[in-house]
C-alpha cells in the first residue's frame, strides 16, 4: 500500500452513486409494497452496503483500513431506475471514494440478487463517484508569488564539520508548494547573527523566513530567544501543530521549542535542526500555512 504516514488526518467525505434498472413497473411496485419473496429490498441492501463500506480494505488490496464514522445510503426511484447513493465520512489521512463506490455497488448487487427471481432483465450501471472532500486537494492556497529565505542555524555546519540536510529538505518542500527560495544561508548559533539576518531579509521584502536549528535544549540552542523579541505577533497554533504532528512519530517532539509569528507581513517559522524533524514539520503545516498570505491580502477564513 502507499505510505500515508506523513499525511495529516482531516475530515474527509465521499458521495458515490449506482443505478439499478428494472424491466417493468411490476418490479418497482413489488419493491415499494414489500412484496419481494426474499424480503425488504431497501433494508436488506442498505445493510449490505453498510457492511461493504467497512470491509472495503478486505476486498481492495491497496485500500487502507480506516475508521468509517458516518454512512448514509439513500434510494430514489425514477421511472424504472433506482438511484442509489452512499455517503461516507471519516477523519483520517486518506480519502474514501473507493469505500463509497464499493458500498453503492454492493447495495446494487444485493438488490439484483433479491430481485432476479421476479425480473430477469435487471441491469446495474453508472457506478461513479459524485463528490469527494477533504485532504490537500481541498486547500486552494498557493505559494505562487511568495519569496522565502532559508536560514540554517548550526555551529557545526557553519564550521564545515557537518553537511546541511535539513535546510535543503525545507527548500525541497517549499518548491513542491510553489514557494520560491530567494536566499539560503548557514550561520552559527548566535543571537545577534540570527536577528541581523532576519532584519536583513525583512528589509529585502522576503515574505517567508524559514529557520532550522537551535530550537532544542542544549546551551547553544538560542533560536527562540533570538526570534521571539522581534515578533509583532506570535502564532502559537503553528508550533502546536508541528509538535502535535511530531509527537505521533517520536516521543521527543515535545522537547522542541519551535515557534512562529509575524514581523509586519513577514512570516517567521523556526523548525528543528534534524533532517527528519524539519521534513515532518513541513509536512505538518504545508500547504495550510499559505492561507496566511490570503488573509494578509484582505481575504477571509
CB 136 within 8 A of CB 95: no
Cα atoms found within 13 Å of the Cα of residue 119, Cβ hemisphere only: 23
Distance of CA 226 to CAs 120, 192, 202, 270, Å? 78, 7, 15, 10
Q: Which of 166, 174, 168, 163 is nearest to 216 (CA)?
A: 166
Our answer to whether residue 113 is catalytic in this structure is: yes
Task: State the virtual CA torsion across 166, 167, 173, 179 in degrees, nearest 10.
Answer: 170
In the block, which residue shows the cell 501543530?
241
SS3 169: helix
| Angle formed at CA 50 by CA 45 and CA 51, multiple of 5 degrees | 95
The active-site residue out of 29, 62, 113, 283 is 113
Indicate left, alpha or beta for 233 from its phi (over 0: left) and psi (-120 to 50: alpha).
beta
**What is the maximum alpha-carbon separation in the chain?**
85
Q: Among the residues of 55-190, which ranges form H helices? A: 56-59, 97-115, 155-158, 166-176
Task: Report d(CA 206, CA 223) in Å as an integer.
Answer: 19
Task: Return the bridge partners of 92, or none.
Answer: 10
Q: Which of 139, 205, 212, 211 is nearest to 177 (CA)?
A: 139
Distance of CA 174 to CAs 56, 167, 170, 233, 261, Å? 35, 11, 6, 23, 18
Helix (H) or strand (E) holding 32: helix 25-32
- The set of catalytic residues is 113
Amino acid at each position: 500500500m502507499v505510505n500515508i504516514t506523513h499525511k495529516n488526518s482531516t475530515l474527509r467525505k465521499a458521495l458515490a452513486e449506482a443505478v439499478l434498472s428494472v424491466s417493468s413497473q411490476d418490479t418497482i411496485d413489488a419493491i415499494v409494497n414489500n412484496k419481494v419473496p426474499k424480503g425488504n429490498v431497501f433494508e436488506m441492501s442498505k445493510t449490505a452496503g453498510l457492511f461493504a463500506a467497512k470491509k472495503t480494505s478486505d476486498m481492495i488490496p491497496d485500500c487502507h483500513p480506516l475508521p468509517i464514522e458516518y454512512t448514509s445510503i439513500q434510494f430514489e426511484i425514477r421511472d424504472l431506475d433506482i438511484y442509489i447513493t452512499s455517503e461516507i465520512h471519516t477523519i483520517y489521512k486518506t480519502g474514501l471514494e473507493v469505500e463509497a463506490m464499493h458500498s453503492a455497488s454492493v447495495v446494487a448487487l444485493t438488490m439484483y440478487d433479491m430481485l432476479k427471481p421476479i425480473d430477469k432483465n435487471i441491469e446495474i450501471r453508472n457506478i461513479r463517484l459524485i463528490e469527494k472532500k477533504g485532504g490537500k486537494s481541498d486547500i486552494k492556497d498557493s505559494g505562487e508569488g511568495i519569496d522565502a529565505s532559508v536560514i540554517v542555524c548550526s555551529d557545526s555546519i557553519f564550521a564545515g564539520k557537518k553537511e546541511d540536510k535539513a535546510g535543503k529538505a525545507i527548500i525541497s518542500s517549499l518548491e513542491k508548494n510553489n514557494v520560491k527560495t530567494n536566499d539560503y544561508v548557514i550561520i552559527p548559533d548566535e543571537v545577534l547573527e540570527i536577528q541581523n539576518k532576519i532584519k536583513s531579509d525583512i528589509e529585502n521584502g522576503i515574505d517567508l523566513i524559514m529557520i532550522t536549528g537551535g530550537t532544542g535544549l542544549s546551551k547553544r540552542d538560542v533560536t527562540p530567544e533570538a526570534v521571539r523579541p522581534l515578533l509583532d505577533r506570535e502564532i502559537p497554533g503553528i508550533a502546536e501543530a508541528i509538535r502535535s504532528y511530531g509527537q505521533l512519530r517520536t516521543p521527543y517532539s515535545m522537547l522542541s521549542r519551535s515557534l512562529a509569528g509575524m514581523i509586519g507581513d513577514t512570516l517567521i517559522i523556526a523548525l528543528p535542526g534534524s533532517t527528519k524533524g524539519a521534513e515532518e514539520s513541513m509536512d505538518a503545516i504545508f500547504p495550510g500555512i499559505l492561507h496566511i498570505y490570503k488573509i494578509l491580502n484582505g481575504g477571509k477564513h
